[in-house]
Amino acid sequence: MIPYLTMILYIHISGLLSLASARVSAQEIGLVPIAVGEGKVIRDASPQARHSGVHVGQSVLRARRLCPMLLVVPLEQVDPRPLSHCLYDVLAEFSPTVEPVAPDAAYVVLERGEEPLVHRRLAEAFPELSPVLATGSSKLIARTLAESGVAAFDLAPSHFLWPEDAAITGKLERLGLHTTGEVAHTGETALRYQFGHKLGSLLYRRAQGLDGDPVRPLWPLPTIDLTCRFDLEPLEDATCLDVHIVALARQGAGELTQLRRYGRMVALAVETERGKSEHSWRPPWPIQSPAEVVSAARRLLTLQQPRSPVTALRLTIAELELPQAESLSLFDSVGVENQRRLEAAKRFVVARYGSKALTTLGKVPVALRDRRRELVREATKR
C-alpha cells in the first residue's frame, strides 16, 4: 500500500509512437494521418488518424478502409527512445519513483494535488499530443481509469481486470459480467467455481481494486561513473595513458556484468594541466563485454589527443538497459559474434536435451509463456 498523502499516476501519451515514426522516417509528411502497426493491429495513431476513426486495437485492414490516406509504419521501424526519454524526464521532475511500462506510458508516485501540474508540464513538452492520465490507490485502478475513461472503477469494462488473456475476459463477457463492479458483486465463491481457486481469488481481488504490485523506480537509468586521478604524477606517456584507459574500461565492463545491463552511451573526460575536454559516443548497439567498452574508450581518447600531461580520467557509461530477448536464426547470415553465440546455444541444447533436440525438438520443454497459457485455459475450463 502507498501512503495516504501519495497516489499512483498512470500516464499514456497517445500519438507518441506515431510522432516518433514521422520524425524518423518522413520529415515532410505534414498532415498525412499516421499509425503504427504491431502485426495486424493498430498500436498507436496520430491525432489526424484518430479524427478519421482510427483507434488503438483496430485491425490495419479496418483502419485503411476508414482512412484511405493512412500511412501505417511497422512498430519495429520506429525508434521512440528520444521522445520516451523526454516523457520519463518530465515525470522525474515531480517524483523519484518513475516506472516505464511502454515507450509511451509510465507509472509515477505523486503527492495528492500534483496531477494538474503534471498535465500542464506534459502539454508544454508535447503540445501536438494529448496525454491520458489518471490517479488511483493502485496501479490497476490508475491504468483502468485512464484507459477506460470512466469516472469510477466500478464502471470500467471487465476486460481491464485481466487484459493479458482474451480467454478470461471472453468468459467474463459470456457470464454477463461486463463491468468490474459486476465482477466484484458476484462474490469470491462464485468466481472460484467458474475460474478455479487461484484465478478466481485473483479476479475477485482485482475487481476490488487491490493490486499488490508496487511502482518500481526504474527511471532515471543507472549510470556507471569511474574516475582515476594523477594530480601528484601527471601522465605524459601515451602507453601509460592507454593502460589506465583499459583498466577503467574493464572495471566498467565488470560493473555492467554485475548489474546485468548493457550501456548505450560512453563518455570520456580528460583533464590536463591546460584544461578539460569531454567527448561522448553512442555505439550502434548496446555494449557490455570488456572488448567493446575498451574499444569505445580508446575511440574517445583518440578523438581528444591530449597535448599536455593528463591529471585525471573520467569514464562514464550511461543509459544502462536490461537485455532484450533475441532470436538467433540458423539460416540468416550473421556476424562473427552472433555466430559464436549461436554455436554456443546449439551446444547447450544438444548437451541438455540430446543430439536430436535441434531437429525434432522432441525433448525440449514447452516455453514458459505457452505453459502459462495452458494453465490459464485449464483454470477457465473448470
Cell matching residue 150: 470512466
| Integer angstrom CA distances of residue 327 from 349, 356, 366 | 14, 20, 16
Burial annotation 86-109 (CB, 10 A radius, 16+ → b, else e): ebbebbbebbebbbbbebbbbbbb
Rounded CA gap, 349 and 241, in Å?
A: 44
Q: Which sign, positive or negative, has the C-alpha torsion 252, 257, 259, 264?
A: positive
> Residue 226 in contact with residue 251, Cβ under 8 Å?
yes
Helix (H) and strand (E) counts in the chain: 15, 11
- Largest interatomic CA distance in the chain: 79
> Residue 63 in contact with residue 35, Cβ under 8 Å?
yes
* pLDDT string in tens for the chain (382-residue length): 455 578 999 999 988 998 888 764 444 445 688 999 988 899 999 888 888 899 888 999 999 999 988 889 998 888 888 899 899 999 999 998 899 998 999 999 998 888 889 999 998 998 888 889 999 989 999 999 998 888 889 899 988 888 878 888 889 989 999 999 999 999 889 999 999 888 899 899 989 988 888 888 888 878 899 999 998 889 888 888 999 999 999 999 999 988 888 898 999 999 998 889 999 999 888 888 999 999 999 999 988 888 889 999 999 998 887 776 555 454 444 556 666 777 777 777 777 777 666 665 444 454 544 555 555 555 444 4
**pTM of the prediction?**
0.67
* Domains by residue range for the chain, with CATH: 6-137 (3.40.1170.60), 152-207 (1.10.150.20), 224-318 (3.30.1490.100), 336-380 (no CATH)
